[in-house]
Amino acid sequence: MKIRAAVLEEFGQPLNVTEINLAEPKAGEVLVRLEACGVCHTDMYTASGADPSGYAPTVLGHEGAGIVERIGENVTSLRPGDRVVTLFSPQCRECIHCRSTRTNLCLAIREQQNQGYLPDGTTRLNRDGDPIRHFMGTSTFAQYTVMPEIALAKVPQDAQPDRAALFACGLSTGLGAAINTAKVEPGSTCVVFGAGMVGLGAVSGCRLQGAERIICVDLSEDRLNLARGQGATETWTGGADTVQKVLDETGGFGADYTFEATGLTSVMRQAVESARMGWGLCTVAGVAGKGETLDIIPRYLITGRRVGGSSFGGVKGRDQVPELVQLYLDGKLDVDPFISHRIALEEVNHAFELMERQDGIRSVIMFN
């Protein structure tokens, strides 16, 4: 079938919104009609050429929600008409990682997905017979996409697609960092560095976990206002003195839990050094630039602090994304303030410009 899609033709250049071909789903695959798709920093990061694992040409996009149109052979968990959220982090429920409670990093299709292919090592996208690779196994900057069954989470039909799409990446990553990775305890003190989508999700996750004190640190007053709406008890403007301020406010010990959601290694270091002596946990959810490293003074670790990473918030997508979406449907999570712009597919490059100047939290492509 012919579809319109935003193709990354060359790193560092605007995406090309054009017509390409999409083949029918094969065994274990599903054809999804996209309804909405968030424009995430990871898309822009790859388009810039900074991502060492990036490739082109590819159809970008991974934060999607849509409707199942057709299914391939052996698909058992989905049927046409189901509303789904796309998962760049799949869940086969069978590999050693899926069977473990310690990680969400499914191994089933990881090798092929990292190279831009579907599980059989081929692509369903082409232009004049020339293959175009799938981005993160999703390629949701398009009217339709074909994806593996194991990379789609069925969500309630009454979930609005523009809200549901946010759970495909940023919002689930932040929520899960607090709920799954850190396992924030009631009554604790938390510091969240960064009030973008992931950071705001972490603030919400800390609130849902019963944290007593939630401090959010950012440079933007507009974003800090949003953090207060998600449950931050205090908001601070970030700076070189942030670590000392955390220590001063916690009797010299530091916070029980800290979260880094900026991708800046200098801020990651602040998050480590703000964690409490004895048992503080720093969870890093931000993605640093190509070749960057994080310097940690060993005595911070020797005196009891721990540092952990969180990919997609430790969320096992097919099982847990529907649960997170239900929080929004039950009124326990206010998603509306995250959506700052609703745009057409043809405006995707403008969405990158908005992101560059930190205009709002999330631009969402609406496929009408």
Catalytic (active-site) positions? 40-42, 62-63, 92, 95, 98, 106, 110, 169, 362
State the Cα–Cα distance between residues 181 and 205, nearest whole angstrom: 11
Q: Contact, 35 vs 157, CB < 8 A?
A: no
Write the secondary structure of 174-198 as one string of H (helix), E (strand) and C (coil): HHHHHHHHCCCCCCCEEEEECCCHH
d(CA 353, CA 47) in angstroms, rounded, equals 12
The encoded tokens of residue 5 equal: 């899609």
Among the listed residues 204, 173, 360, the one whose alpha carbon sits nearest the alpha carbon of residue 283: 173
Residue 87 contacts residue 317 (beta carbons within 8 Å): yes
Contact status, residue 341 vs residue 230, Cβ threshold 8 Å: no
Distances (CA, A) of 243 to 146, 233, 253, 254, 321: 46, 18, 11, 8, 34
Cis check: omega of the bond before 161, within 30 degrees of 0? no
Token pair in block for residue 323: 């649960």
Distance CA 310, CA 75 (A): 30
* C-alpha R_g of the chain: 20
C-alpha–C-alpha distance, residues 308 and 186, integer Å? 20
Total residues found in the chain within this entry: 368
